[in-house]
Amino acid sequence: MKYLVFFLTILTIFVSIFFFDKDIAIFFEKNRDLRDFFEIVTFFGRAELYLIPSLLVYLIYRKKETIKRYAFFVFSSVALSGIAVNILKIIFARYRPKMLFSENLYGFSWFDIGYNLASFPSGHTTIAFAAMVSLSFVWSKFRYIFLSIAALIGFSRIVLGAHYLSDVLAGALLGSITSYIIYKKLFRNNHG
């Protein structure tokens, strides 16, 4: 099942790049009514909001093995996905939506650096999904709340014109996979 979800997400990313990204970006460029609300939402995709508390919990509860392990899990999920997304941004060097509107540039520049060339994958979305997926492993009864928060943060990046739909989907996939792999490595003895 997890491989099917992975394949379908990759397929959706490609379909979005070729068929949906521009139209969705144009829609939200013309319809700016929701921007004030989503400016607040997007703030919660910042890595330090998860790195600092998880590090503090790790340090404060270092003698409580379970709490320490979960804190390390959240910290490493966010940190490693953040490193991965920044490497991928340089490799893909995709133009942000604002470049479509200001200079009619759409696509990938490949192995280039700069804010306007850092659209794919979405960093905020990657961080949000890494954090929320890891928290959903820690507190599984709140899984749907955590995943809804991550999805809302990802959606905020589209509404604000910072990213295309495919950027957000790729970020969601990257953050989720990173957390899943780290979870399996850290907790394989406890959870199979």
> Rounded to an integer, what distance in angstroms lies between the CA atom of residue 164 and that of residue 98?
10
Confidence of residue 60 (pLDDT cuts 50, 70, 90): very high
* pLDDT tens digits along 81-107: 999 999 999 999 999 999 999 999 999
Write down the pTM of the prediction. 0.93
What's the token pair of residue 61? Answer: 């509860």
CA 133 to each of CA 27, 82, 147, 152, 185: distance values in angstroms, whole numbers, following the listed order:
29, 14, 7, 14, 15
Residue 94 structural domain: 2-191
How many separate domains does the chain show?
1
Confidence of residue 192 (pLDDT cuts 50, 70, 90): very low
- CATH code (residue 47): 1.20.144
DSSP state of 39: H
Q: Give 71's contacts (C-beta < 8 A, 6+ positions apart).
A: 54, 55, 57, 58, 61
> Rounded to an integer, what distance in angstroms lies between the CA atom of residue 59 and that of residue 49?
16
Mean pLDDT of 24-47: 96
Look at 1-15, 46-60, 66-80, 100-114 and tell me which has the smallest mean pLDDT. Answer: 1-15
Q: What is the mean pLDDT of the chain?
A: 95
> Rounded to an integer, what distance in angstroms lies between the CA atom of residue 29 and that of residue 44?
22
> Rounded to an integer, what distance in angstroms lies between the CA atom of residue 109 and that of residue 178?
26
DSSP state of 161: T
Per-residue pLDDT at 29 exceeds 60: yes
Per-residue pLDDT at 165 exceeds 80: yes
